[in-house]
Copies of this chain bind each other. A is one copy, B any other.
Amino acid sequence: MPAIEGLRIATAQAGIKYKGRTDLMLMLFDPGTSSAGVFTRSKCPSAAVDFCRKNLSGGAARALVVNSGNANAFTGKRGSEAAAMTAKAASEAANCAAGEVFLASTGVIGEPLEASRFTHLLGSLAGEAKPDGWLDAGKAIMTTDTFPKYATATVKLGDAEVTINGIAKGAGMIAPDMATMLSFVATDAPIAAPVLQALLSKGVGKTFNAITVDGDTSTSDTLMLFATGAAAKRGAPAIVETGDVRLAGFKRALNRVLKSLAIQIARDGEGARKLIEISVEGAKSSRSAKRIAMSIANSPLVKTAVAGEDANWGRVVMAVGKAGEPADRDLLTIRFGDLRVAHHGERDTGYSEEAASAYMRGDHIRIGVELGIGRGKATVWTCDLTKEYVAINGDYRS
């Protein structure tokens, strides 16, 4: 991960819940950094999400504090006090206003977060912060993730090269509309906050909002995008209009970064051994295609079949049928990879159990559904449902 000019990173072991690993991350931004964010649609959001939503209207960012191990969600008045206390300490460390601080917390819900465990660390972290701290940052925000998630892209903006870096954490409670998913993306491109927000809001549709691990939407989902603007010194043009044509390449690069991070989250779902990519075509509309794809992606029976390497396309039929979207059984075609397993409402005449079973032993399973009634299409990603998911979640809190 290259450095992003205009920001510095530091991490620490605060011992919030985990022992022997980092669980606190501070990102400092130079003055002039703009921000954008997309948050959980949960009706019971965490204190950190409430806090970020309030500060986002300012459009400016100077500090981001993320802790893992405790979500500071459903913690009542004490929760918002812990958020305010963290922001105050961060604003002192970064020498900025509390309104320029952003927060994210991930971990167990309902346990009060003792902010005093780490607020005293922020001052020294600010002193240590370095531009090349991305790899450490990705590790500090993990919970049950088995690997840290990174993506980077370099692209021309005007005549200057700009960089986009992103980190993410996921694992459980992952569903569209943001899940216990934290992701932070930053660039040195000089892009105004409203434009940044528009890019991000549009970008999530086919990336973060197209993944699911368990259909459970968290109280804490946060995806933020920061633009330090440091590339302006190297001649990158300041972008202040959403329709600016010079954005085209940047937009594609940003979407690639978002998609890479989102797919890494799906691949690293709790207990997962296989990534499942579900493409639906020929639906009445793209919206309908996405609903059908999500119905398949969230079906425990489809996901356990993939875990068992069982070419059980009948369960795909079931999940299409239960989606409640327009579908005609007798026009339906289903593919596993390039193998057409079902066609025109019944098992394909050329179906080979051997070939289908061999395909299911791979670790990237592509399920294709062709509805044959319209032009709507969508692709979503999920993972298999294994005994380990149950084991991880049966005693996560204890």
Contacts and interface: CB of A to CB of B under 8 A. Distances in A.
A137 interface: no
Interface string A47-91: 000000000000000000000000101111111000000000000
A327 B43 contact: yes
A314 B76 contact: no
Contacts of A224: none
Contacts of A40: 321
A110 B390 contact: no
A199 interface: no
A345 B324 CA distance: 34
A219 interface: yes
A386 B397 contact: no
A195 to B, nearest CB: 29
A305 B397 contact: yes
Interface in A337-388: 342, 344-347, 385-387
Interface string A83-115: 000000000000000000000000011111000
A394 B360 CA distance: 12
B320 A218 contact: no
Interface in A303-338: 304-305, 307-308, 310, 312-315, 317-330, 332
A329 B74 contact: yes
A255 interface: no
Interface string A263-302: 0000000000000000000000000000000000011110
Contacts of A147: none
B44 A393 contact: no
Given A312-B397, A329-B74, A390 B304 contact: yes
A182 to B, nearest CB: 15
Contacts of A308: 393-396, 398
Contacts of A327: 43-44
Interface stretch (A18-26, A157-165, A183-191, A209-217): A209-217
Contacts of A319: 216
Q: Main secondary structure on chain A at its contact with chain B?
A: loop
A310 B74 contact: no
A193 interface: no
B312 A43 contact: no
Given A42-B321, A43-B324, A109-B312, 5 more contacts: A110-B314, A216-B299, A300-B393, A304-B389, A310-B396
Interface of A: 40-45, 71, 73-79, 108-112, 172-173, 175, 214-219, 298-301, 304-305, 307-308, 310, 312-315, 317-330, 332, 342, 344-347, 385-387, 389-391, 393-398
21 contacts: A43-B322, A44-B318, A44-B321, A71-B314, A73-B317, A74-B342, A79-B346, A110-B346, A112-B347, A214-B299, A214-B301, A216-B299, A216-B315, A217-B321, A304-B393, A308-B394, A310-B394, A310-B397, A312-B397, A386-B394, A389-B390
